[in-house]
Amino acid sequence: MRLERVRNSEDIIACHMANDEALLECAIKNKKAGAVIRFYSTVCPALTVGRNQKIMHEFIKSCEYNKVQITRRLTGGRAVPHFREITYCVVAPLKGVFSKGVVESFMIISERLVRGIKSAGVTADISRVERGENGTVSCFDSVGRHEITVEGHKVLGSAQFRKSGYLLQQGTLVYRKLPSELETILNFKSVSIEEATDRIPFWEETADKMFESVAGLFDGIPDVRELDEEEKTFSANVLAKYAGLSSFNHGELEK
């Protein structure tokens, strides 16, 4: 199975979510035999919430008041912060290294990502124990098996969505210390790479090492490209559903 790397060209979280869906849907439509991975980040504080996560009106109002962008992901789980982070998206057919179940494919990607983070100079590990949820909306307030930690703190949260013989896995590495508005909204208790290590590697260095490690699962030299015209068109057509409150139409909103 070959691998493509799609360059990042956006910094708005709704655009990122639309682009990830475009990669998945175009792969399904064209029955693509290869995988694609994309790394990206935001410069404005943002949140994504899980596909079926229940969100209170007050939570959304708090995001609006603090000028924090919020949208819903295709993948599950709880709220994930985005701010100068390293977020990845993997789209691949359910064959070859991903021919087994969700847990197995999740573990394969996690092992490769933690290897890449280590090669960038950060001592990361894969959790072998599970720490339950504590009732908050944040993804980082619980640790599951196969998730990536530094000094026992979860630093990378991932989730997977499957459709029509393909997987979409998204994950976010908390790279820089979160701004106060994100910490307050999430009641964030975890740590960032910046806070957990004496030497924080450059964003590009860390993302490149993570990509190179994942690329080792595939054949040949990866192709590097932009979104193609079909993917750009699809992304533009679905962008509206990720913008503002409209993104909550396919999830649940509590009153």
Question: Comparing C-alpha atoms, which of 38, 137, 43 is closest to residue 90?
Answer: 38
Which distant-in-sequence residues (6+ apart) come within 8 Å of 223 by Cβ?
2, 3, 4, 5
| Strand blocks (E) in 57-190 | 69-72, 80-82, 86-93, 125-126, 148-150, 153-163, 166-173
Kindly name the residue from 15, 63, 89, 139 that is annotated as catalytic: 139
Task: Scan for tokens 């956006």, then name that residue.
Answer: 10
Residue 4 one-letter amino acid: E
Other CB atoms within 10 Å distance of the CB of residue 175: 22
Phi/psi of residue 250, nearest 5 degrees: -100, 15
SS3 42: coil
Per the document, the length of the chain is: 255
Respond yes or no: is residue 44 known to be catalytic: no
Buried b (16+ CB within 10 A) or exposed e, 114-133: bbbbebbebebebbeeeeee
Question: Does residue 168 contact residue 35 with C-beta atoms inside 8 Å?
Answer: no
Say which DSSP state 125 is in: E
167 close to 161: Cβ distance less than 8 angstroms: yes
In degrees and rounded to multiples of 5, residue 208 shows phi and psi of: -65, -45
d(CA 12, CA 20) in angstroms, rounded, equals: 13
Q: Cite the active site residues.
A: 139
